[in-house]
Amino acid sequence: MEINRKDLFPEGVEKIFRDHRQKRNRETFQKDKYRIVRYGMLAASLFLIMLYFLSPVSNVRSISVSGNHYLKDSYIIGYTGLNARSKFYFCIPGLVENKIKSDPLIEDAKVTLQPGNVINIDVKEKKAVGYRYEDQPVILFADNTKAELKSEYLDIVASIPLINGFTEEEQTRLLTKAFEDIDENIIHEMSEISQYPLSYDPDTITVLMRDGGYFIGNYFNLSLINQYYEIYSYQKNKNYCIYAADNRKNAFAKACPWDEEDAVLEYWTDEKGDPIVNKYGDLSAKHYYKDAEGNYAEDVNGNRIVIPIDEDGLDVYDDRFQEHYEAGFYDTGELVIPEGYDDSVSENEETYSEETDTGEYSEEESVQTEE
């Protein structure tokens, strides 16, 4: 026996159920409609994005490189792996920077994304000190690191000196540290760097410049080579070497050590007769002035005029020695300026003089440099 819904539910109740079903269907449709619209928009967006990245419009338009002196633009760009087919927005600056900094010649790198799909790479190269031959050719840097001299670095060799010696680890460290304060333009003018131990300084370093001149110093005063060309312009005898003084303030010209005759050095002693040691732990040798002709300057009694030392055991140079010597102010062997004599120097006057000492350390010309 079939039961009719109309028999079970009055017409009014059935109408309520029907209205409820219709309302629920409308709500479901509205929800589905919004969902369909959202999915449609998402699909359209993905499609447009896909079209963008598949088109050349999304490619890198250009890559610029700045800050490089030794390495070519093409080498740095090639190191990043980027090219004209690379997708601009797939370039993650941090990752690219790490790639560039993995090159032993790069100290730092900064990558920025510019408008118009342009990528800018700004690099800072390490300061190259020179190159030398170990098991294979290597380049030394001022931060005491080194890199194998590969074909991409060959252009650097023309701008840095050849290093001879300094085979011990500590010697290499001191040498590279000595270059921290040397101008790169001066480094480019160096041809060779060698060890040349002297009796009074076993750590002596000789630098052959590209103009054929020599600069002589040590690990602690080598930065005075920054004044090389200033001193060279005053130098009367161009065959002389230019030396850095122990006080790290002066540089001067005198006969090169290989041109000097062997001489027995004299050393300063105190009132007890004990040898005086300078602040670097070395015996303080007596050094003597020379006159304008390159001969040892003498007082009226025929004694050589010695360069005095300070409390640190370092020479105290008279930057106007020739003027004072010719005026007779050194007749007693020491500088004595007459009362009332105006010994002032104008602000624009160069503090240049000729000074000397004995044997392996005699001086001819000197220039006072800024501390």
Structure tokens at 61: 């338009």
pLDDT for position 345: 57
Residue 11's pLDDT is: 64
Determine the residue type at 171: Q
Q: Is residue 99 part of a domain?
A: yes
Has residue 262 been placed in a domain? yes
For residue 163, tell me if it sits in a domain.
Answer: no
The total number of structural domains that make up the chain: 3
The amino acid sitting at 50 is M
Residues 61 and 33 in one domain: no
Q: Go through 263-288 and write b for each residue having 16 or more CB atoms within 10 A of its CB, e for each that does not.
A: eeeeebeeeeeeeeebeeeeebbbbb
Same domain, 305 and 202: yes
Pairing mode, strands 214-217 and 241-244: parallel
Residue 238: inside a domain, yes or no? yes
The answer to whether residues 210 and 357 belong to one domain is: yes
- CA–CA distance, 82 with 4 (Å, rounded to integer): 78
> Is residue 354 domain-shared with residue 225, that is, in the same domain?
yes
Q: What's the domain range around 32?
A: 1-38
Inside any domain, residue 292: yes
Identify which of 275, 296, 293 has the alpha carbon closest to the alpha carbon of residue 284.
275
Are residues 358 and 238 located together in one domain of the fold? yes
**Same domain, yes or no, for 91 and 219?**
no
Q: What is the pTM of this model?
A: 0.59
Residue 135 to residue 41: CA distance in whole angstroms: 65
Which of 125, 140, 155 is the C-terminal boundary of a domain? Answer: 125
Q: Of the residues 96, 125, 154, which one is the last residue of a structural domain?
A: 125
Please give the pLDDT value at position 139: 95
* 152 is a domain residue: no
SS (H, E, C) 315-366: ECCCCCHHHHHHCCCCCCCCCCCCCCCCCCCCCCCCCEECCCCCHHHCCCEE
Both 258 and 118 in one domain: the answer is no
SS3 240: coil
pLDDT of the residue at 347: 45
210/63 same-domain check: no
Note whether 20 and 76 are same-domain residues.
Answer: no
Q: Which of 97, 125, 153 is the last residue of a domain?
A: 125
Asked whether residue 173 is assigned to any structural domain, the reply reads no
pLDDT for 355 equals 42
Dump pLDDT digits (tens) for 306-339.
999 998 888 888 888 988 999 999 999 999 998 8
- Same domain for 5 and 113, yes or no, is no
Same domain, 222 and 362: yes
Domain of residue 78, CATH code: 3.10.20.310
**Do residues 230 and 285 share a domain?**
yes
pLDDT computed for residue 2 by the predictor: 55
Q: Which pLDDT belongs to residue 365?
A: 43
138 inside domain = no
Q: Mark the ranges of the chain whose per-residue pLDDT is less than 70.
A: 1-23, 25-33, 37, 40, 43-44, 47-58, 260-264, 345-371
